[in-house]
């Protein structure tokens, strides 16, 4: 879709002549920038929305972010989604229900948004922050599949698992990972891909997406024996485990594409706030072995928001075609 977006200090190959090992490549990986790639995606989407607006007399894609309660981390994620939407020209609204909301009240709110024709995308910010018991699976599956731009309902997950990619919404984080893999120019077809994690949001849809892009896929989880051995067979590795710096550089196959979804806060006295964010991959050592690598932060994170916008614009386009 776009030409490669790489860090300038990239693709530096060193021969370790000093130690006499000519021919053995010690490389510094090419860094795949999620910041730059997501900016390109957002620019393209803005152009598409401008076109829609002028062609269909003021029409704009509509997005609703439904929140229950008032978690600080959710507030932060929501504000970055609303900001990105505003930049692109998507009409985004934040609907917040109090933390005393019952399951019935949340369902009623979803039903009324499902029926609103000016809303093309509806996401329910998880986790739900309610004093009442609310079945989040039921809530996720109550979002109309045509508006489920997070791609988390069983209908969309089922279509993805069957390979019906052009007819479903692909969850935003795996979709962003695929876009970053495309940036490397490495073809997925025929490669051996390893995914660490099998969650509904990251690991399981990532497996499906790689599979239907014709990779041979191994999915690992907390009960997988010999994780380093599995990782060592990966031409493409996607990690979504939530374990700080778990994957070490010496586990990797030389030249692998490494996509790190992890967001982990670790103590760091040198930083304001006393902590910093690291991925699930030990970046310094992986950088010596991988062919391509995503940084944390600035890798998968910004792509997740961009792909939410992509799904919303796509949903609005499908709506216009159905009219």
Residues serving a catalytic function are 81
Query: Which residues make Cβ contacts (< 8 Å) with residue 269, sequence separation at least 6?
Result: none
- Would you tell me which residues interact with ligand NDP (CB under 6 A)? 173, 196-199, 201-203, 220-224, 227, 240-243, 246, 261-264, 300-301, 304
Contacts of 227 (CB under 8 A, 6+ apart): 196, 220, 251
Cβ closer to ligand NDP: 104 or 268?
268
Q: Which is nearer to ligand NDP, 52 or 204 (CB)?
A: 204
Q: Are strands 216-220 and 192-196 parallel, antiparallel or unpaired?
A: parallel
3-state DSSP of 113-154: HHCCCCCCEEEECCCCCCCCCCCHHHHHHHCCCCCCCCCCCH
Q: What are phi and psi of 218, to 5 degrees?
A: -115, 125
Q: Strand, coil or helix: what is 268?
A: coil
For 243, what's the count of Cα atoms within 13 Å in the CB-facing half-sphere? Answer: 9
Q: Where are the alpha helices (DSSP H) in 258-299?
A: 283-286
Least gap, CB of 220 to ligand NDP (angstroms) = 5
CB of 58 to ligand NDP, least distance (A): 32
Smallest gap from residue 173 Cβ to ligand NDP (A): 4
In the complex, least distance from residue 241 CB atom to ligand NDP, rounded to whole angstroms: 4
Residue 133 CA to residue 123 CA, distance in Å, equals 19
Shortest Å, Cβ 296 to ligand NDP: 8
Q: Which is nearer to ligand NDP, 60 or 282 (CB)?
A: 282
Kindly report the number of other CB atoms within 10 A of residue 26's CB atom: 14
The minimum distance between CB 263 and ligand NDP, in angstroms, equals: 4
**Which lies closer to ligand NDP via its Cβ, residue 62 or residue 240?**
240
| Residues 6+ positions from 137 with CB-CB distance below 8 Å | none
d(C-alpha 8, C-alpha 25), whole Å? 20
Q: Which residue is nearest to ligand NDP (CB)?
A: 199
Give the integer Cα–Cα distance in Å for 188 and 320: 32
Which CB atom, from 62 or from 262, has the smaller least distance to ligand NDP?
A: 262
* C-beta closer to ligand NDP: residue 117 or 225: 225
Contact call for residues 292 and 32 (beta carbons, < 8 A): yes
Asked if residue 125 lies in contact with residue 65, where contact means CB atoms within 8 angstroms, the answer is yes
């Amino acid at each position: 879709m776009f030409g490669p977006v790489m860090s300038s200090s990239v693709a530096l190959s060193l021969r370790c002549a000093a130690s006499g090992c000519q021919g053995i490549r010690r490389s510094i990986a090419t860094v795949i920038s999620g910041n730059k790639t997501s900016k390109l995606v957002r620019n393209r989407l803005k152009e598409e929305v401008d076109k829609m607006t002028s062609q269909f007399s003021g029409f704009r894609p509509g997005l609703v972010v439904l929140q229950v309660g008032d978690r600080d981390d959710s507030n932060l994620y929501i504000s970055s989604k609303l900001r990105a939407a505003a930049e692109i020209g998507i009409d985004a609204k934040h609907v917040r229900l109090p933390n005393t909301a019952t399951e019935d009240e949340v369902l009623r709110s979803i039903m009324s948004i499902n029926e609103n024709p000016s809303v093309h995308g509806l996401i329910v910010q998880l986790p739900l922050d309610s004093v009442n018991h609310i079945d989040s699976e039921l809530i996720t599956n109550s979002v109309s599949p045509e508006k489920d731009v997070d791609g988390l309902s069983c209908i969309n997950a089922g279509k993805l698992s069957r390979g019906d990619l052009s007819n479903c919404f692909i969850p935003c984080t795996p979709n962003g990972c695929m876009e970053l893999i495309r940036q490397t120019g490495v073809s997925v077809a025929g490669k051996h891909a390893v995914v660490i994690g099998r969650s509904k949001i990251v690991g399981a849809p990532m497996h499906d997406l790689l599979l239907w892009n014709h990779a041979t896929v191994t999915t690992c989880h907390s009960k997988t024996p010999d994780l380093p051995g599995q990782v060592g067979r990966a031409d493409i590795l996607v990690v979504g485990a939530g374990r700080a710096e778990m994957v070490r550089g010496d586990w990797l196959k030389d030249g692998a594409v490494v996509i790190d979804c992890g967001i982990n806060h670790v103590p760091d006295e040198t930083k304001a706030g006393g902590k910093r964010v690291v991925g699930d991959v030990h970046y310094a050592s992986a950088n010596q072995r991988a062919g391509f690598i995503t940084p944390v932060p600035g890798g998968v994170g910004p792509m997740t928001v961009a792909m939410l916008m992509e799904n919303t614009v796509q949903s609005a386009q499908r709506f216009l075609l159905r009219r």
